[in-house]
Amino acid sequence: MKAVVYEKYGPPEVLKLKDIKKPVPKDDEILVKIYAATITSGDVRLRSSDFPPLFWLPARLIFGFFKPKKKILGHELAGMVEEIGKNVTEFKVGDSVFGTTTMLNTGSYAEYICVPQKWKNGVIGLKPKNLGYHGAAALPVGAMTAIYLLEKADLKSGQNVLVYGASGSVGSYAVQLVNQNGSRVTAVCSTSNFEMVRSLGAKSLLDYKKEDYSKSNEKFDIVFDAVGKTTKAKAKKVLNAGGTFVSVKMLTTEKDEHLKLIKTMTEKGTLNPFIDKHFKLDEIVKAHEYVDRGRKRGNVVLDIA
């Protein structure tokens, strides 16, 4: 099978398309033929080992100090079950699935992957029926992160919420979730993305290049940092008494219940992935170069099959 492999940290050029052995599922695993994956900011950080100083050493210890332990990147996927292990009871051959590769020894930049039917760190489930594989692949990481952090912030109907970095993957889902919950969204992004975030449900718009949100006269119940580029200290200046700051820098947990909620909301039409660009597997270097610029909107999809 074809897969994108990297043997060392560095620029996009370290990613190489190779032929490797097709995996065989263990007794508790499913073999998924991958139709689509995504290029996330997490993939880019792992490829370059570009971690904040406080996290650089722990990240290297987890992911490989001198070279990457996980040779194939890719945090999320959608595809079809081609084979199942003898102990698998939750899936059958032919099921269309979507999910993550969190803490597995391989990622989704490949034509096939073996995934446990259940494991501690990641999730896999039946794909939303109304979405193709490319849309479904863009859902799990961003949407689950948004759900987890909004639950942590105890989002309630009627609140006033500011989403910083509203045009990214996590931000685009956060805007939709807050809007669907009956709360008001102020989106912080660049002017070029105003139309996009307005279409997702944002009511007020701030261009971070022109306005400092922390100097706003408006007060918020929640400040949601969707890109890890603002601080609690700044957020406090615009938070109501008892208001909450949450950030993608916080540790999050993937839950089966969240993946099922995403499926339900998507099938009802209340949550949708925003796809910025598509790239083919043999365009992986170009895809990473694009995401490296830090200007992607929503999600960037890798078309595999």
Show pLDDT as tens, one digit a residue, over the chain (305 residues): 999 999 999 999 999 999 999 999 999 999 999 999 999 999 998 998 876 666 666 666 667 777 898 999 999 999 999 999 999 999 999 999 999 999 999 999 999 999 999 999 999 999 999 999 999 999 999 999 999 999 999 999 999 999 999 999 999 999 999 999 999 999 999 999 999 999 999 999 999 999 999 999 999 999 999 999 999 999 999 999 999 999 999 999 999 999 999 999 999 999 999 999 999 999 999 999 999 998 899 999 999 98
| Total tally of structural domains belonging to the chain | 2
At residue 69, the pLDDT reads 87
- In this structure, is residue 213 part of a structural domain? yes
Kind and range of the H or E element at 177? helix 169-180
135 and 7 both lie in a single domain: yes
State which residues form the domain around 23: 2-139+273-303
Question: Rounded to the nearest 10 degrees, how much is the dihedral formed by the CA atoms of 188, 190, 196, 198?
Answer: 40
- CATH number, domain containing residue 86: 3.90.180.10
Q: Does residue 252 fall inside a structural domain?
A: no
Gap between the Cα atoms of 155 and 184, Å rounded: 11
Looking at the domain assignment, is residue 256 inside a domain? Answer: no
Identify whether 253 is part of a domain. Answer: no
For residues 109 and 106, give the distance between their C-alpha atoms in angstroms, rounded to a whole number: 9
Evaluate whether residue 260 is within a structural domain: no
Distance, CA of 126 to CA of 172 (rounded, Å): 23
Give the up-direction half-sphere exposure of residue 162: CA atoms within 13 A in the CB hemisphere.
Answer: 30
Specify whether 161 is located in the same domain as 188: yes
Closest Cα to residue 220, out of 232, 236, 206?
A: 236
Whether residue 261 lies inside any domain: the answer is no
Would you state the pLDDT for residue 57?
65
Distance CA 193, CA 294 (A): 13
In this structure, the answer to whether residues 59 and 134 fall within a common structural domain is: yes
Same domain for 120 and 38, yes or no, is yes
Same domain, yes or no, for 233 and 162? Answer: yes
